[in-house]
């Protein structure tokens, strides 16, 4: 397929899959349960973190987690007592277990209770990423690396938990974090992505490169490298920028939809 034909093909698939009708079956449905900004951020972060494996299993685990947080994740994070944490002791989703979950809660409580500058009306998770990136940066690599280091800056973090927060420094595709950033940053009129963060630009986002996206992208000639790592995600995003320089990751809808729904 020539570039012009491929762009038209993918644009049509974006239009078809970037619709609210597909929210219910996707992990993004978890943050869509909430309207408060911090609830959306926390629920979205957990949903993205747990987003591997069967989608029904992912949704079941995420919904159980929201139930354990009394369906008020931000309020629970801020105001829970030590005894409230016992309810999480048997939580597990694949290799993500209660040790990991308790550290996530610990980090979020520390972060959301931290002192804000006078210019900040509210403490948003956006700042944990945006503080490491500038408008001059080509992509979100500094934000991802900076967030990783911030996340594990608390004393005595469990070493096993490090595998659940990726960083470009380890040449990871950072699929889950890139998906989370897509949810928070991208904005359009379809009502799927939230677009509640303003300090990171859509053109700086990197396409989440999971197994389905990777397979379809290779089949369409969007990826040439044999490896699947951070450089692969950069290569794919660079190619997608030829189709839309301002919003390349919108094509995640097309590639994922083709891979999962159409078995392309």
pLDDT at residue 114 in the model: 86
CB 123 within 8 A of CB 114: yes
Task: Give me the DSSP letters along 113-176.
Answer: TSPPPTT-SS--THHHHHTT--TT-SSSHHHHHHHHHHHT-STT--GGGGGGS--GGGT---HH
Alpha-carbon gap, residue 63 to 33, rounded angstroms:
10
Domain count, the chain: 1
SS3 call for 244: coil
pLDDT at residue 118 in the model: 58
pLDDT in tens, 78-114: 999 999 999 999 999 999 999 999 999 999 999 999 8
Lowest mean pLDDT among 116-125, 191-200, 229-238, 252-261: 116-125
pLDDT at residue 49 in the model: 98
CB 253 within 8 A of CB 13: yes
Nearest 5°: CA angle at 91, between 87 and 94? 175
Q: Does residue 251 surpass a pLDDT of 70?
A: yes
pLDDT in tens, 143-192: 999 999 999 999 989 999 999 999 999 999 999 999 999 999 999 999 99
Alpha-carbon gap, residue 193 to 158, rounded angstroms:
32
- Cβ neighbours of residue 69 closer than 8 Å, sequence gap 6 or more: 76, 77
* Beta strands in the chain, from DSSP E residues, in sequence order: 92-93, 96-97
Residue 192's domain spans which residues?
3-120+129-260
What is the share, in percent, of the chain residues with pLDDT greater than 70? Answer: 97
Sign of the dihedral defined by the CA atoms of residues 141, 143, 148, 152, in that order: positive
Q: Which of 61, 49, 69, 58 is nearest to 26 (CA)?
A: 58
pLDDT at residue 8 in the model: 97
pLDDT at residue 90 in the model: 97
Lowest mean pLDDT among 58-67, 106-115, 240-249: 106-115
Task: Give me the DSSP letters along 184-197.
Answer: HH---SSSSS----
- The tokens of 108 are what? 């979020």
Phi, psi of 41 (to 5 degrees): -65, -50
């Amino acid at each position: 397929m020539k570039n012009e034909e491929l762009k038209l093909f993918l644009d049509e698939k974006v239009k078809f899959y970037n619709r609210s009708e597909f929210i219910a079956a996707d992990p993004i449905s978890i943050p869509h349960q909430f309207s408060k900004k911090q609830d959306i951020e926390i629920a979205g972060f957990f949903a993205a973190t747990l987003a591997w494996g069967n989608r029904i299993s992912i949704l079941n685990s995420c919904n159980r987690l929201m139930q354990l947080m009394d369906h008020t994740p931000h309020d629970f994070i801020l105001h829970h007592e030590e005894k409230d944490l016992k309810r999480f002791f048997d939580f597990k989703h694949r290799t993500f277990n209660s040790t990991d979950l308790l550290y996530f809660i610990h980090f979020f409580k520390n972060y959301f209770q931290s002192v804000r500058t006078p210019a900040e009306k509210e403490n948003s998770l956006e700042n944990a990423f945006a503080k490491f990136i500038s408008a001059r940066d080509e992509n979100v690599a500094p934000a991802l690396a900076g967030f990783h280091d911030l996340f594990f800056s608390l004393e005595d973090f469990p070493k096993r938990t490090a595998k659940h927060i990726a960083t470009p420094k380890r040449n990871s595709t950072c699929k889950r974090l890139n998906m989370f950033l897509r949810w928070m940053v991208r904005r359009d009129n379809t009502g799927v992505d939230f677009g509640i963060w303003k300090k990171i630009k859509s053109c700086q986002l990197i396409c989440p490169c999971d197994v389905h996206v990777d397979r379809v992208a290779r089949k369409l000639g969007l990826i040439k490298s044999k490896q699947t790592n951070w450089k692969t995600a950069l290569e794919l995003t660079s190619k997608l920028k030829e189709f839309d320089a301002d919003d390349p990751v919108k094509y995640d809808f097309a590639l994922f939809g083709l891979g999962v729904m159409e078995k392309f």
